Amino acid sequence: MKATKENKVKSVVIIIAAAFILSNTAIITRAAGLLKPINGGGNNVKIKSHKVNVIINNGFAKTEVDQIFQNTGNVDLDAVYSFPLPKSASLSEVSLWINGKEVIGEVLEKEKAKKIHNEQKTKGNDTALAEKNDFKTFEISVSPVRAGKETRVRIVYYQPLEVDLGIGRYLYPLAEGGVDEERIAFWSVDDEVTEAFAFNLKLKSAFPVEDVRLPHYDSLASITKNVVSNENKYVGDVYDVTLCNEENGSTRLSNDIVFYYRLSKDVPARVELIPYKPNKKSDGTFMAVVTPGASLKRIAEGTDWTFVLDVSGSMNGGKITTLVNGVAKVIGKMSPNDRFRIITFNNSAKDISGGYITATPENVKQYCKIVKNISAGGGTALYAGLSEAYKKLDADRTTGIILVTDGVCNIGPTQHSAFLKLIKQNDYRLFTFVIGNSANQPLLEKLAKESGGFAMNISNNDDIVGRLIQAKAKVLHQKLHDAKLKIKGVKVKNITPQKIGNLYLGQQLVIFGQYEGGGEVELTFTAKISGEEKEWKCKAYLPKIDTDNPELERLWALSSIDEIMQNVRENGETKDNRNQIVQLGKEFSLVTDYTSMLVIEDEEMENQGIQRKNATRVQRERKAQQKRATQPVRNYSTSRRKSSGKSMFDGIKAPSIGGSGPIGIISILIIGLMKFKTKKN
């Protein structure tokens, strides 16, 4: 097929699938849990209980982890609990129970927090420290776990969630990524919960939810649905999901928990504007979520697919097994009009198919067998694999290149700037498929955004074929490019992310910002489709006071920090960008690359002159959460305002996999993956 206007740069679509998929049946030796020195002898600190409470509401999720450590020995010991870094998560609370009382942590510069923590340990005082290990993990150090005693720790983080093609997804990350070689060489991980494990999730949706799903856990979970109405008028759906070891036996923190929910196909395209403003004098914060209703046509019939597979040592075991099985399934779903080629890389890159192969049934069967015999070993020359992907591309056909890696390279160029230069030299659209925990998500998402592509995340426990089909639906349809959202009527500032870029079929736009004053606003969303600019408008309201969602301040600050960190990774650290991150981290109590959260006794806090900013913020957030828990689901769609006139997308339905819209036959597979049985009240 000849190049279309949609493919203005070149008629090439590139998907990078940054993958390490852990098989549910594989032997997993490392996961979230307590770090213990390898060959360091016995250690009597255990995880006695691990209880998780999740609330999904108003476009973001709150995750609360309440954990009890137990020391069965007769000597006081330290504990370090490590867990994979959740996507876009603001670690906002670390609490330690001291003498039966909860003490909430405060954020300080990393070096200062570490120094005070060590001083308190030397004195034998109770203390905890939360640190961020680059893009890989959060680590919570607790001292001491007293001999014969229990120590209780509570952590809370918030993260924005997006709906993709009508499907929402929440991930509780537990599976260890295996990308931190130094840590793996020094530490083993005790991931066993000796007694109570519980995972409770509450979904509150202002729009009808047709199905929910927990891959690998559906038969074990208790799922209850409630339809909420007020004076016989629909208000929303509420789902309660419970997963626990009812017999109080041992549980391993080795597999992610993934929760899907699918909205009704009748849910409209929309704009949701969620505000927070504590008083008339303070700046307000908002989160704007745009679910476009533009008509995006299919742009290709036959497609060339290039699979670039990471077969380095870090992919060994269950990861490479599930990876090759997933690739084989994708090849098996191709049409005879498609072509494919397969590139592998570890210490270097190799085209094992010798060019493109037509996807006939015979060729598909042959290469599925070849793929399944791939084994892992050696280093990770990501740059070489990506470079090979740019060769032998046919400009007359739409091409999907699937690079399967965790993005953590150790051979050849490794700097962000080198990869960005490679992209600019080739001038192709690039899509990242980030699979697994602790992957180099900052690099892969940056590459996608800079080239005009998109990023998608995959967990070890995802419905991988369904996720790949979601990605394929995007690749084979027009996109909204050069998307922009403007707000007039009140002064808005500090918008993040500053650059939106492109939106693909079913993708949402999520931005954060601040505003002054309050009042009616006009939102204008613009984007180009095949070079033609489109415009949509609607009216909304930013209130002078609204105290329902104080967590938005942290989410705005974290998004701002992420943008600054992108600049640090690409161009290096400067005094100015470091100071900006420290200031935001301390002001909004966030654990960052330059700030940590410290818990010490109240008296020691006062002696150190540490202000209780986070304790005050936490109390404000908890009060708002208690209030929301007693109220019906709140709908923030701008079309619900009587003065707003017609909605931005004028009643058009949102793109979804559940409907009979432009996705067509590929809907069937994902709908099948989402089927479940629930208890309805």
pLDDT in tens, 295-320: 888 766 677 888 888 888 777 655 67
- In this predicted structure, the answer to whether residue 197 has a pLDDT above a threshold of 50 is yes
Q: Edge to edge, what strands does the sheet with 480-488 contain?
A: 501-503, 480-488, 519-529, 532-542
Share the mean pLDDT of the chain. Answer: 84
Nearest Cα to Cα of residue 340 among 349, 330, 326 = 330
Count of C-beta atoms within a 10 Å radius of residue 146: 14
- In this predicted structure, the answer to whether residue 559 has a pLDDT above a threshold of 90 is yes
pLDDT band at residue 398, thresholds of 50, 70 and 90?
confident
Q: How far apart are CA 600 and CA 383, in angstroms?
A: 45
Q: Which of 191-200, 383-392, 544-553 has the lowest mean pLDDT?
A: 383-392
pLDDT number for residue 432? 75
| Bridge partners, 138 (sequence order) | 83, 132
pLDDT number for residue 6? 40
Q: How far apart are CA 528 and CA 312, in angstroms?
A: 40
Q: How far apart are CA 220 and CA 677, in angstroms?
A: 12
The tens digit of pLDDT for each residue in 587-621 reads 999 999 999 999 999 999 999 999 999 999 999 99
pLDDT band at residue 546, thresholds of 50, 70 and 90?
very high
Q: How far apart are CA 530 and CA 91, in angstroms?
A: 41
- In this predicted structure, the answer to whether residue 681 has a pLDDT above a threshold of 70 is no
pLDDT band at residue 641, thresholds of 50, 70 and 90?
low
Checking 245-251 for CB contacts under 8 A at 24+ apart, the result is 245/193, 245/196, 245/197, 245/198, 248/195, 248/196, 249/195, 250/192, 250/193, 250/194, 250/195, 251/50, 251/192, 251/193, 251/197
Q: Exposure of 278 by Cβ count < 10 A (0-12 exposed, 13-18 middle, 19+ buried)?
A: middle
Q: How far apart are CA 509 and CA 290, in angstroms?
A: 5
Cα angle: 318, vertex 324, 329; to 5 degrees: 125
The tens digit of pLDDT for each residue in 101-121 reads 999 999 999 999 999 999 999
pLDDT number for residue 183? 72
Q: Exposure of 173 by Cβ count < 10 A (0-12 exposed, 13-18 middle, 19+ buried)?
A: buried
Q: Which of 181-195, 315-329, 406-420, 513-527 has the lowest mean pLDDT?
A: 315-329
- In this predicted structure, the answer to whether residue 27 has a pLDDT above a threshold of 70 is no
Domains of the chain, each with CATH number or no CATH: 5-23+297-475 (3.40.50.410)
Q: Report yes or no on whether pTM surpasses 0.85.
A: yes
Nearest Cα to Cα of residue 345 among 303, 384, 387, 402 = 384
pLDDT number for residue 557? 97
The tens digit of pLDDT for each residue in 277-290 reads 999 999 999 999 99
CB 410 within 8 A of CB 347: no
CA distances from 197 to 102, 378, 533 (A): 21, 38, 53
The tens digit of pLDDT for each residue in 28-41 reads 345 799 988 776 66
- In this predicted structure, the answer to whether residue 638 has a pLDDT above a threshold of 60 is yes
Q: Which residue has the higher pLDDT, 293 or 491?
A: 491
Measure the N-to-C terminal CA separation of the chain; round to a whole number of Å. Answer: 52
In percent, the amount of the chain with pLDDT more than 70 equals 85
The tens digit of pLDDT for each residue in 219-231 reads 889 999 998 887 7
Residue type, 314: S
Highest mean pLDDT pick, 180-184, 376-380, 431-435: 376-380
Nearest Cα to Cα of residue 32 among 138, 128, 157 = 138
Q: How far apart are CA 626 and CA 332, in angstroms?
A: 50
Q: Edge to edge, what strands does the sheet with 77-84 contain?
A: 106-109, 595-600, 127-133, 137-145, 77-84, 33-37, 187-190
- In this predicted structure, the answer to whether residue 458 has a pLDDT above a threshold of 80 is no
Mean pLDDT of 404-426: 84
Q: Which residue has the higher pLDDT, 326 or 65?
A: 65
- In this predicted structure, the answer to whether residue 24 has a pLDDT above a threshold of 50 is no
| CA atoms 64, 115, 88, 221: torsion sign | negative
Locate 85 and state its tokens: 């870094």
Helix, strand, coil percentages in the chain from 3-state DSSP, rounded to 5: 25, 40, 35
